[in-house]
Structures are given as structure tokens and as C-alpha cells.
Chains A and B, each alone.
Chain A
């Protein structure tokens, strides 16, 4: 992947050039034909976009100001749901807090692990392909129920992890039921899936021109300095894009939290991540309005994080080349 492509993604530029203002009738006919063709091809996506994305977003925004239990029609309550969430719902505050901790702590660790292993793999080509594939595997299955069940078994009291730690004198007594260890355990599960990001970073590293390293070395830059002045700037667009996607992805953690806690979000609410809490409020308690308000708070938080990242990218994301 070239940095040019990333830039297109990041700035979300459309691929086509705008139609020229002055047009002969023939050109105008052609433009019309193109437009008709464009929308024909786009029809399935457009139906999905309006019917399953934009429509639901608007409706859930409306619902978030109502009280609605699926049976009686929605009743307008103004900001009551939002006010209740922040002032009268300690479960929500805890859920939001552990989710933020999970996202804000877990994602950088995962990206750092991906980058570290990518740098290690980039050292040598022969033999690297095997490790690359082996490390990638967890990314494919990490979100599955099967892996959540394995994780639960591995970190249970007297499970393999606990007994291994006990044998070296660390007695934690299991992670699953421990309020202090269950979030770190969830972060470990996320970090375990570093492979996909690592593959992307590795591809990015392969694209850094060798001459840059040679030049840096001629100037007497050591390994650490070369990393700071060559590798990081060249890789920063890829890091930026993946940081964004991983942050958004981390907010959606659900299956593992549900399975590990048997749907309860325990112990003491420490796996009650925001998606699970929304699920319980909306689908177990049929509080559709309240759950919609939770959904919109997530949306706003994600949007704020995205805006902050885009605002700060000038200071650390380096785009090379003359894209436009």
C-alpha cells in the first residue's frame, strides 16, 4: 500500500474529477448517461446506506429522546435519558469507564506490539513468511465465541495461566473472577490479535525506500535515531489509519465480554463493556429509548476521538509525495 492511497483514504477524496462547467449537448448527454449508470451500479449500496445506516441513525437519535419499550408508542421525554445516564446510572458510568480504559490503554498496546513484531520480522526475509502467517491467525478468530471460551478456560481459577503463574510463585487466584485483573485480561485478548495490524505495518516497512536508511546512516544516525527520523515518519500514515480503525473497533467488543461473563458483565460489572450494556438495556430490558441514548453517546465519543486524531495528525502524520 502506498502512502498516496492512504492519503486518499484519510482525506476521503472522491476519485473522479468534477464535470467541466461548459458542455456541449453531446457532452451533457454523456454526463447524464454516466450519472444514470453510476446510480444504477450504486443502487444496492444506496438502499443499504439509506435504509440500514442513515435511516436507523436518524431514528435512533429520535428514540434517544423518548421512552420506548416496543409495545406502547415512543413517548417524548426530552433529554431525560441522557441526564439519567450521567447522573443516576452508576452502571453506565462504570461501563463507560471500563470501555474507555479498554480502548485507550488496549489499542496503543496492541499497535505497539504489532509494530514491534513487524520491525522484528522486517529484519530478515527468509523464514519471516511462516511467522507472519502464524501471528496473523489469531486476528481471524479472536472475535469468535470459541476463542472467548478458550480464554475463559485459560484464565480461570486453576486454569493453565493461573497454575503456570502459581508454579513460579505468583498466586493471583484466577483472572476471571478478579475485579482488578479481568480488564487487563480482556486487553490481553485484544493484544493477542495484533497479527492483522502487524501485517499491514510490515507491508508499510517494506515500502520505506532503502536510500533513506543509507542516507541516515551516512549522517551517523544509530538504529534508534533511524527509527525516529526515517521509519516512524514514513510509517505514520499507516499508523494513523490503523489507530483510527482499531479505536473504533475496540468500542464494539461484545462476544468475548458476553461469553466470559456469561452475559452478566461481571465480576462486579468489570466486563460490562458499553456494547454489552446497550444490549442488556435495549434487548433484555426493552428500554429502546434509553439504549439509543447510550448508542448516541458512543457515536459522539467516537466522533470526538476521530476529530481529535484528524486535528493532531499534522503534528505527527507525515505524508510524502505530491498527491494532488
Chain B
């Protein structure tokens, strides 16, 4: 706000304005660096704590380990409950990749229908789709569980993956609808005049053009599935099927008093893929969120 004021008032008394502006910039940086420290501190603390021996937890609350060790990493590699760590990691990876594939497939199809096809019922179903953005999970998880249980699919990955192929997460459909709507129609009109049907237009014209929203959608689908706790907690019973969040819960449950170091280190390891995603794709994520006006 003040920036606008300073820019627009412009010329008179340049010297005084300059110093005032410089001073404001310093305050600006200091304030933001202070906020950054508070916001980032828990993550830095987590990282630093992975190198602390168990004896230091509860004693040394600072960042620097007094006797740095890699013992925690060695401990978690062994896994928990007789299942090695890499197995949990693979389960998480399988679920997340399947979620990405399913979400992109089903959401892009639905988004094309909502944004580019004029059919009877369009308005009603579009409103319904938007409505599900606001739907609390509480009214659907119990019947979903009962039905998957009846079908004998509990303790398989099906209840976790199937919904992704059915576009149940309206966020992704909405993200892509918004993106397709903002595309000029010339290209699909031209394709239509050349005799292309909707299938052809979707595949050869629209899909290549909405790549940015597909990438944004893929990243979010991956991260949300990677973090998801409730669904795997409901559906998976055997430790060898557990993804990382449920494995972390085992650490938290059984060993939090005796092996704090391993719990904290496993937590950090579980975050590594997301942090890497964030560092590599942060522009896509932040801009995707900003342009779509939807939260991450």
C-alpha cells in the first residue's frame, strides 16, 4: 500500500523520500526474516534432531547436536514390526503414483465435459461437483468402508486407489475446468471444422494445452496421497501394506519414550520426497495455487 503511495507521489523532496523508503525496506526485510525464522524453525529443528542421540532428547533443546550421530538413520533402516523401511516407502510410492495417474485421467475427462461440451444436465452436475468441494468426509467414510469391506477389499490398495480413478476429489476437476475455460476456443473450433470429434479434440488439442494444470494437479495428488493418514488407517491392517504415515504412527505409538531419535528421523525421511518436490516445483505449486484461487 505504502509502496504505491511512495511511487505515485514521486518527485518532490526526493532526498527525504529516499531515506524513508530505504528505512521502510529495512524494516520490511527484518519483519519477513523474523516470520521466516518462526515458520521454518520446526523443520530445521526436525532436521537437526535426526542427528541427536536418544540421550539428548529432553536435555538438549537447541539445534546443534552435542554428540552428532547417524545411529538414528541406521535404526530406521531396519524398519519396525518386522517390515523394513524401504517397504513402507515403496507402498507410499505405489499409492501416490497410482493416485497421480488416476486423478489426471478422471479429472481431465470430467473437466473437458464441464468446460467444453454442452449437454443436458450440465448445470446441475457442475453445481453438484462444486458442492462436493464443501462436503465433509464424515458423511461418506462409513458407508464407503462398509461397502469395501463387503467386497472383501479391506487390506488391499483398491479402496485407496479406486476413488482417484473416479475423480472424487473435486479440487482437481475444478482446477482443470478453470484452466480449460481460459483457453481460446479457436483451436478446437478449427479442429471441429476439420471433422474432429470430442475425443479427438480432447486428446490432441486440449490435453497438450492444459499441461501446466496437469503438472500442478499431479504434484498435489502425489503430495496429498503421500501425506494421507485417515484412509490407510481405515483400510490397511497388515504392516507389510502400510504406507509411511501409518508406519510413523507405529513409531509414535510404541517407541516414542524409548526411541525418540528414530521417531523423529523417520518423520524427517517421510518428508524428504515432499520437500524435494517443493524445491523443484515450487513455482508450479505457488503459481498454480495463486491462479486458481484454491488452496493447497
Chain A interface (Cβ within 8 Å of chain B)? 1, 5-6, 9, 12-19, 31, 34-49, 51-53, 55-57, 59-61, 63, 70, 117, 119-124, 127, 131-141, 143-147, 149-154, 158-160, 163-164, 192, 195-197, 199-200, 202-204, 210, 213-214, 217, 223, 226-227, 231, 238, 241-242, 244-246, 248-249, 251-252, 254-255, 258-259, 262-263, 274-275, 278-279, 282-283, 288, 291-292, 294-296, 298-299, 302, 306
Contacts and interface: CB of A to CB of B under 8 A. Distances in A.
B42 A38 contact: no
Given A122-B3, A192-B39, A278-B138, 4 more contacts: A12-B130, A41-B198, A144-B229, A147-B42
A246 B230 CA distance: 19
A248 B139 contact: no
B204 to A, nearest CB: 15
Interface string B101-120: 00001110110111101111
Nearest to A301: B136
A1 B137 contact: no
Given A131-B32, A132-B286, A274-B138, A138 B39 contact: yes
B258 interface: no
A37 B142 contact: no
A49 B167 CA distance: 8
A144 B227 contact: yes
B271 to A, nearest CB: 5
A73 to B, nearest CB: 12
Contact of B278 (A13, A140, A213): A140
Contacts of B271: 141, 144, 146-147
A18 B124 CA distance: 12
Interface centre among A18, A56, A63, A262 (most CB of B within 10 A): A56
25 contacts: A37-B119, A42-B110, A42-B114, A45-B109, A45-B110, A47-B166, A49-B166, A52-B144, A70-B146, A123-B2, A124-B3, A141-B274, A149-B264, A202-B290, A214-B4, A223-B5, A227-B1, A248-B136, A251-B136, A254-B230, A262-B252, A262-B253, A292-B139, A295-B140, A299-B139
B225 to A, nearest CB: 11
B8 interface: yes
Q: Give the secondary structure class of B's interface.
A: helix
Contact of B289 (A18, A199, A226): A199
Contacts of B112: 41
Contacts of B106: 44-45, 48
A160 B45 contact: yes
Interface centre among A13, A124, A140, A263 (most CB of B within 10 A): A140
B18 interface: no
B62 to A, nearest CB: 8
Given A53-B135, A299-B138, A41 B166 contact: no
Given A200-B290, A258-B229, A296 B295 contact: no
B42 A1 contact: no
B171 to A, nearest CB: 9
A14 B248 contact: no
Q: Give the secondary structure class of A's interface.
A: helix
Given A145-B229, A210-B4, A214-B8, A199 B286 contact: yes
B36 to A, nearest CB: 5
Q: Which 6 A-B pairs have the closest CB atoms?
A: A48-B166, A38-B119, A14-B123, A1-B293, A41-B113, A295-B138
B143 A63 contact: yes
Nearest to A245: B295
Nearest to B140: A56
Contacts of A120: 28, 31-32
A42 B251 CA distance: 43
Contact of B134 (A47, A60, A292, A302): A302
A136 B296 contact: yes
A46 B165 CA distance: 11
Contact of B118 (A16, A56, A274): A16
Contacts of A245: 133-134, 294-295
Contacts of A19: 118, 120
B290 A203 contact: yes
